[in-house]
Chain A
Amino acid sequence: MTSTRPLTGTRQSQAIPLLSLSGITKSFSNIVANSNIKLSLNHGEIHALLGENGAGKSTLVKIIYGLISADSGEMYISNTKYRPKNPKDARKNRIGMVFQHFSLFNAMNVYENIAVGLDDSFSELDLRYRIIDLSKKYGLPLNPNDVVGNLSAGQQQRIEIVRCLLQSPKLLIMDEPTSVLNPMEIEQLFNTLRKLASEGTSILYISHKLNEVKELCNRATVLRGGKVIRTCNIKDYSTAEIAELMVGNSVKATVRTNKIFGETLLKIQNLYQDSEDPYGISIKNLNLEIKSGQILGIGGVSGNGQEELMTALSGELKPKKGKILFNGSLINSLNSEERRSLGIFSAPEERLGHAACPDMTLSDNVLITCSKTANLTKYGFIQKDLTKNLAQNIISKFDVRTKDFSSLASSLSGGNLQKFVVGRELLQNPKLLVINQPTWGVDAAAANFIRQAIINLAEAGTAVIIISQDLDELLEVSDDFTALVSGRISNPRPVGDLGLKDIGEMMSGTLLDD
């Protein structure tokens, strides 16, 4: 059992907290995102909210900011009951939030973007003065006349911060603010936040980058699986200890009976792949090898080239440079269907809209990837009986809980749809399976089922590449582990040889040589 009693700092423990939450619970259909959350924030404190993806951090701050409402529980601001109906309510209560993804109009200038998002009305001149004042005072250099589209991510973030500061917030929520910043911009941001805190503004800082949090924050609340694991004075803990709190000690529920690796199946040499997203991370000089029967886990935070690696392997986009060799032959130019004919199957992260088509039935959805390998068409005509049988087969073999093959993909729960998608690829006897975030947003039972299915597949001789943000999962399932950071990976190493420190180093990218 872990204690949930806050170990508060000494100086502020007597004062009335700025914001306190108790018993906050929120569930989405079958997933409990927040369970009985207790949290208190002191005046002028920089408080970290830590947790793996899916731990419930975003849900919690969305509740505080009025974007969603909790199923139960209570919030107080300086001992007054606080129940925001919408973000406007939150702002009235002087709570501001800077999102990870900015909501700015690229074609408009800084002044216009700020003016558009304000609840209170200012005269233009007055507002311009205030913008310049604030940006000087807090080290947020901004020119009101600059067009937003030309600004860097760091500068755009400053606009969002200034927009919040104009409402003189008592609490500023920052959601993963450094994910888009370069080290210099991070330093600048930290100075701004420290100055704000010294003037009494509380900051709730969401992150999973432990070093940053240790540098900036006073206290931290660690969430795991929607529950508060601990609230602690961050200076008293080592990074490794916090990491352990975040990740937890998982119970190994899956069973691996054999590990027989065959020949090298896939070889990636000096791969470069541009991101389709203008702010995305491109794959840079990536080398990788995988043998049949091997499970390779690729960790790292999503958005570090995960999507790009996936599309390069699935054949959805052709690599910019480098070689992808399958069984010794070059497959760079093959599209996804041609690669599936060779036995390379992939299951993308986004299930609805990418792996499956939401408004189509399950029997139509099997056509997306099995059309050729399962011979579902004859002279181009769809053999409806075959698609129905295959869909029904997947449903029964992979325990997909739904009516039958005629259900729309969008009517399935996340876990069931993922079982369907994984089952669809698995039944085609892949030689190589690439799977991105196999259990993201999936309930524990289904997640376990999917992991076991992947293991069974590897035992039968398939090479599997799992790209996941879930470290537990990777350590449980994979034979070898590496992390994809800023579009680059370190050399994979056997999972058994890795300590938490090694993993941390791999995931922070310090092992990458420049």
Chain B
Amino acid sequence: MIEIVPRTQKSNLISATIPIMAVILTMLFGGILFWSLGKNPFETIRMIFWDPLMNETFADYARPQILVKAAPLILIAIGLSFGFRANIWNIGAEGQFIMGAILSGSLGLYMYPQESSILFPLMIILGIFGGILWASIPGLLRAYFNTNEILVSLMLVYVAEQIMAAASIGFLRNPDGSGFPGSRNLSQYPSAANLEIIAGTGIHWGVATSIIAVLFFYILLHKHKFGFQVSISGISPKAARLSGINPKFLIIWCLGISGGLAGLAGMFELTGPAGQINIDFNVGYGFTAIIVAFLGRLNPIGIFFAGILMALTYVGGELTQFMLNLPAAAIQVFQGMLLFFLLSMDLLVNYKIKLKRS
């Protein structure tokens, strides 16, 4: 018989190796999934994890793509991680991502085609503001009316998607687009375009910002009072109260930070890789970032690597769809497995599994 018993001491070694074990288990069970779909599991997994980085044919295209896809994941996940540490669950980063894009995009499209050097910075501010605005709805409702921020933020994703759809066929539609849905392409509007800083590397302003964010939020979390307040509120709310931390203040700040970063990511995505506001603008970065945040152990440095890994599965996943004709859903299941194994392995931090003779 198998028995689960609590550990007397937390295992640091296990805590550190869990993400690696989760990745290995995901490969194992993902392999079984791919095999059951009639694909060679070894080839498929090599194509997801190895080919985008090292294969001569694909790497030149895939490496910059990994950074382009990792940047929004990292930005959003860092924001989410602060709330998650304090038990404040923003599940609606996808909606905040969309609203950041719509607000900043509106300004860009309004100014088109005038060139101005302050347009891009202004759009950045509006992007952050759009995300904060959208996140402040669940934030204020939770702080003052004790509503559940998980539900409110999640529901607001669907509202944001509808606004996005309305914008792309209505108030932001490209007047020269012969009636097709979608706005003008902002990446072709020099003042508003999020261009590559070094050509051919994929490093655009969003990538640079996410690296700065990793460092900034690492310092905020580990060296600043705010990080301490966030951590203690999550571990022992009563000790946080004794310390004099106002829970309302924390709820609003944590949702504000995550919303702002998601909105910022939306702005960079809109003005760079996506280019235009359209019905299919959002591809799930806001949700995948939840996995990234946990995979990175809610730590900015960890999130950086987790974001790269997750982007790898995206790029590699596309490669398998293209080369092996694997369904897109199979890759989503594969990514989902990663979070599933990570969270289930978390059990081992506090518990150990004992085999017992009955």
Contacts and interface: CB of A to CB of B under 8 A. Distances in A.
A357 B235 contact: yes
Interface residues of B, number: 18
B352 interface: no
Contact of A337 (B223, B226, B238, B244): B244
B224 interface: yes
Contact of A357 (B225, B236, B244, B246): B236
Interface in A341-395: 346, 348, 350, 352-360, 364, 367-369, 371, 377, 380-382, 384
A314 interface: yes
B225 A368 contact: no
Nearest to B243: A368
Contacts of A314: 242
A176 interface: no
Contacts of A358: 235-236
A316 B236 CA distance: 14
A458 B235 CA distance: 34
B241 interface: yes
Contacts of A382: 223-225, 228
B223 A367 contact: no
A364 B236 CA distance: 13
Nearest to B228: A367
A57 to B, nearest CB: 26
Contacts of B223: 381-382, 384
B239 A380 contact: no
B225 A377 contact: yes
Interface residues of A, number: 31
B330 interface: no
A355 B242 contact: yes
Contact of B238 (A315, A350, A371): A350
B165 interface: no
B244 A353 contact: no
Contacts of A356: 239
Contact of A381 (B224, B236, B238, B242): B224
A357 B244 CA distance: 14
A450 B238 CA distance: 23
B232 interface: yes
Contact of A369 (B226, B236, B242): B242
Contacts of B10: 359
A340 interface: yes
A38 B228 CA distance: 51
Nearest to B231: A360
Interface in B1-28: 9-10
A340 B244 contact: yes
Interface string A319-355: 0000000000000000111101000001010101111
B236 A371 contact: no
Contacts of A355: 239, 242
Contacts of B228: 364, 367, 382
3 tightest CB-CB pairs across the interface, nearest first? Answer: A337-B244, A354-B238, A353-B236
Interface of B: 9-10, 223-226, 228, 231-232, 235-236, 238-239, 241-244, 246
21 contacts: A316-B241, A335-B246, A337-B243, A337-B244, A338-B244, A346-B242, A350-B238, A353-B236, A354-B238, A355-B242, A357-B232, A357-B235, A357-B236, A358-B236, A360-B232, A360-B235, A368-B232, A380-B224, A382-B223, A382-B224, A382-B225
